[in-house]
Structure 1
């Protein structure tokens, strides 16, 4: 299988080239030239497989330049059972009726990013040997909270790599910050920026495409790549868990083979729901993809109107991993649903860069709306949803999952479409203890220290505290760097000691 760029469809590269490079030279994102097709019989054959075998079944059709031995090495290493607190890796849990939660946070950093970022270092290592042997790959990451820690954990002490993570200084939870600033590893560096996630992401993209900076790295036998979802190697592992959750529902006899399901995803950067879009187009029986936003509802507005406008107030919310106004992966959807119109994608991305907004044709948004629905909710609704689901079902969800649950409930009331549904749960509630504890108790905002709140939430809920979060309590902070968004390129060289 070959990959092309959303901004230049004349480009053709292998999976290894796409993963090692991260982003196309002209700033476009790599996408598959075609999608493999999965029959119902093939899906049925995956039901009795463990997660690792389900992953290999999906990934081998995308990573065609990987040998069977290389794929085994990558998948078995990434999803080793000792790394995950559930033997199912990503279990599907029924909450009530047709409402099912896909728990994607049982990995080492307790967030859904582990599902991809435990695998990416293996994919990157194999890809680099094929395409960039001998070079040190510098992984440059902007994070709104979860990607940073998951990438740091995945890439720590991986040979011939360095990883630099930038996060908004006031835009992550205390637990997310602690996870990053205490990170082990000789090849890792972390820096806060005075700005929000969009500032960090825009600066990272600018650094990636800066010829002068790339030339300076090349002189040191280094090259950039990405662990953000702009990298195809981050996105392709996410396709796997949509096939896996469908198999879980079959195994649990909640659906019959061929039955359609709906999928609800809390998302800011659009990668997690885009993976479900790919799964649907590969043959997975998905009826509707429901995009859930918090108060930063730029995606909801786009999916309802066809106008994307980031020129709006930015909200710092209790679901910080979704506090994003520039959604990178939407570019991939626009490319596919416009009939692979790279000229249009260039025009839209240029408009977003210069004016902060763009609008697609009625024909295009009508087409998108046949596949996608969308909704958003405010902070009060998030709190109410957490409390209601704990009180009614004794299910404790984090703030991001609560956004998706609330949007789903609203969708059912609005449409009556109550078929079996999978709702992505993207983080452990203990990563956002203050917000979840306050919601569950229905009282005043919790004012305990972070780990006292963890203990209190554990006492009230009876839900186990993940061991990786417990272990942070006594870890020393290693990284206190802070820079302005305008100075990120200088900080990159400083962190690399260049």
Structure 2
């Protein structure tokens, strides 16, 4: 399996190279040259396995320069040995009405990013041995809330790796911020950024293609990489849980092998739903991929119109991990939709950089419509959904998951589609306890941990151990930067022993 760049199809690199470097030198994203294909026998074999073995089976199709032993060890370390609260890393809950909820938040940071970021460090270390000749890796992460903590936790203490995380000041939930600024480990650094997530992400991308920064880091024996979903090593583990959810549906006899299933995905940077697209392209029987947006509805509008236009108001919502206007992973989808035309992708990305918008031609829009459907719901609707879901079926959800519930209701009302649907639940409600309490009509305490305790007492849901432990954690990182100050801080951090 070889990989190329969305902006330079002449490139041909191994998966180790793609994972170790994170992003291509010209700014494009690494993608597989060919998407592997599975058949019914392969899928049936997957159904009989535990989650780590399922991960190994899927990863082996994409990461062909890793040995089977390396992949098995990495999957076992990531998804067993008490890393996740549940015995099953990605349990599926049946709501008994044709809806199933894939709970992706039972990992150490209570968010779906753990599903990839508990595995990525193991892949990164193996990739570095092959591709970087012993150089130190400096990982840069721009986060809208969840990726930062999950990456910090995954890479904490990993030898030969440093990680710097940048989050929007006043743009994440209090619990998300506390998770990051109390992070243990000597190889980590955390910075707040004046501005929003797009400002942080744009600056990180600029640093990756800045020859001056790259040269100065190289003099210190340091190579940049990424733990955002722009890194293929972050994205490929997410493909696994689409297959696993389908296998669980077969296992509980909710569907027959070969029956189609829809997936409903709350997403901002487009990585989570893109993993589902790759699963479908591989041969997983997926009907529609339903893209759920909050008030920052640039993706939903793109799904409807074929025009991506980030020239719009930016809203701070109760689902902050989706407060994004520049969705980086959409570039990978564009590459597939336009027939792998790197020049066309590069032109669209240049137009986005210059004018914050681009449009796709009718033939690309037709391919988009074949696989995707998009919708959006605002905070007020989400509050009602959180309360209704708890009141009527006794199921507690976080604000991001409520976006998916709301958009799925829109989809069914518009299409009448009765295909069984898996809704991806991306975070524990205790990461947004104040917002969830407000939605339930309860008093919202000013203190975050008082809110956590009140939510548990009011609903009977247990507080995740990793969130409870934060109450006594020491704050380590308080620095706030302007985006243009990020390159200097990165070089200072890289030079520290």
Task: State if a TM-score over 0.5 links the two structures.
Answer: yes
Residue number in structure 2 paired with 1:131: 131
CA displacement 1:179-206 (0-9 Å, x = unmatched): 0000000100000000100000000000
User: Match of 2:365, SS?
Assistant: helix
Whether the 8 Å CA contact 2:84–2:108 is kept in 1: the answer is yes
Provide the C-alpha distance between the structure 1 equivalents of 2:11 and 2:402, rounded to a whole number of angstroms. Answer: 41
Pairwise CA distance, 1:418: 1.8
Residue number in structure 1 paired with 2:171: 171
- The correspondence of residues 266-345 of structure 1 with structure 2, limited to 5 A, is 266-345=266-345
Whether the 8 Å CA contact 2:157–2:187 is kept in 1: the answer is yes
Match of 1:456 among 448, 454, 457: 454
Within the alignment, does 1:197 sit opposite 2:197 as a pair? yes
Pairwise CA distance, 1:487: 1.2
CA displacement 1:396-443 (0-9 Å, x = unmatched): 000000000110011111110021100000000000000011112x25
Provide the C-alpha distance between the structure 1 equivalents of 2:211 and 2:483, rounded to a whole number of angstroms. Answer: 19
Pairwise CA distance, 1:496: 2.9
Residue number in structure 1 paired with 2:103: 103
Q: Which sits farther off after the overlay, 65-74 or 187-196?
A: 65-74
- Number of matched residues? 496
Provide the C-alpha distance between the structure 2 equivalents of 1:491 and 1:199, rounded to a whole number of angstroms. Answer: 16
Provide the C-alpha distance between the structure 2 equivalents of 1:87 and 1:116, rounded to a whole number of angstroms. Answer: 17
Whether the 8 Å CA contact 1:81–1:87 is kept in 2: the answer is no
Provide the C-alpha distance between the structure 2 equivalents of 1:83 and 1:59, rounded to a whole number of angstroms. Answer: 20
- The correspondence of residues 468-479 of structure 1 with structure 2, limited to 5 A, is 468-479=466-477
Residue number in structure 1 paired with 2:479: 481
Provide the C-alpha distance between the structure 2 equivalents of 1:111 and 1:68, rounded to a whole number of angstroms. Answer: 28
Residue number in structure 1 paired with 2:85: 85
User: Match of 1:430, SS?
Assistant: helix
CA displacement 1:84-142 (0-9 Å, x = unmatched): 01111101111131100000000000000000000000000000000112211000000
Provide the C-alpha distance between the structure 2 equivalents of 1:476 and 1:443, rounded to a whole number of angstroms. Answer: 29
Whether the 8 Å CA contact 2:217–2:494 is kept in 1: the answer is no
Provide the C-alpha distance between the structure 1 equivalents of 2:234 and 2:177, rounded to a whole number of angstroms. Answer: 22
**TM-score normalised by length of structure 1:** 0.99
Provide the C-alpha distance between the structure 2 equivalents of 1:443 and 1:58, rounded to a whole number of angstroms. Answer: 44
Whether the 8 Å CA contact 2:53–2:72 is kept in 1: the answer is no
CA displacement 1:284-303 (0-9 Å, x = unmatched): 00010000000000000011
Whether the 8 Å CA contact 2:217–2:491 is kept in 1: the answer is no
Provide the C-alpha distance between the structure 2 equivalents of 1:72 and 1:330, rounded to a whole number of angstroms. Answer: 30
CA displacement 1:60-93 (0-9 Å, x = unmatched): 0111000111112211111124010111110111
Residue number in structure 1 paired with 2:419: 419
Provide the C-alpha distance between the structure 2 equivalents of 1:209 and 1:222, rounded to a whole number of angstroms. Answer: 15
Whether the 8 Å CA contact 2:16–2:65 is kept in 1: the answer is yes
Residue number in structure 1 paired with 2:370: 370
RMSD of the TM alignment (CA)? 0.9
Whether the 8 Å CA contact 1:167–1:191 is kept in 2: the answer is yes
Provide the C-alpha distance between the structure 2 equivalents of 1:317 and 1:227, rounded to a whole number of angstroms. Answer: 24
Within the alignment, does 1:215 sit opposite 2:215 as a pair? yes
User: Match of 1:370, SS?
Assistant: helix
CA displacement 1:226-260 (0-9 Å, x = unmatched): 00000000000000000000011111111011100
Provide the C-alpha distance between the structure 1 equivalents of 2:348 and 2:100, rounded to a whole number of angstroms. Answer: 36
- The correspondence of residues 12-411 of structure 1 with structure 2, limited to 5 A, is 12-411=12-411
> Runs of 4+ in structure 1 displaced over 4 angstroms?
none
Pairwise CA distance, 1:36: 1.3
Whether the 8 Å CA contact 2:137–2:223 is kept in 1: the answer is yes
Pairwise CA distance, 1:490: 1.3
CA displacement 1:361-399 (0-9 Å, x = unmatched): 122112201110000000001100000000001000000
User: Match of 2:61, SS?
Assistant: coil
Whether the 8 Å CA contact 1:117–1:151 is kept in 2: the answer is yes
User: Match of 1:315, SS?
Assistant: coil
- The correspondence of residues 483-498 of structure 1 with structure 2, limited to 5 A, is 483-497=481-495
Whether the 8 Å CA contact 1:81–1:89 is kept in 2: the answer is no
Q: Which runs of 5+ in 1 are unaligned?
A: none
User: Match of 1:278, SS?
Assistant: helix
Whether the 8 Å CA contact 2:294–2:377 is kept in 1: the answer is yes
Whether the 8 Å CA contact 1:164–1:188 is kept in 2: the answer is yes
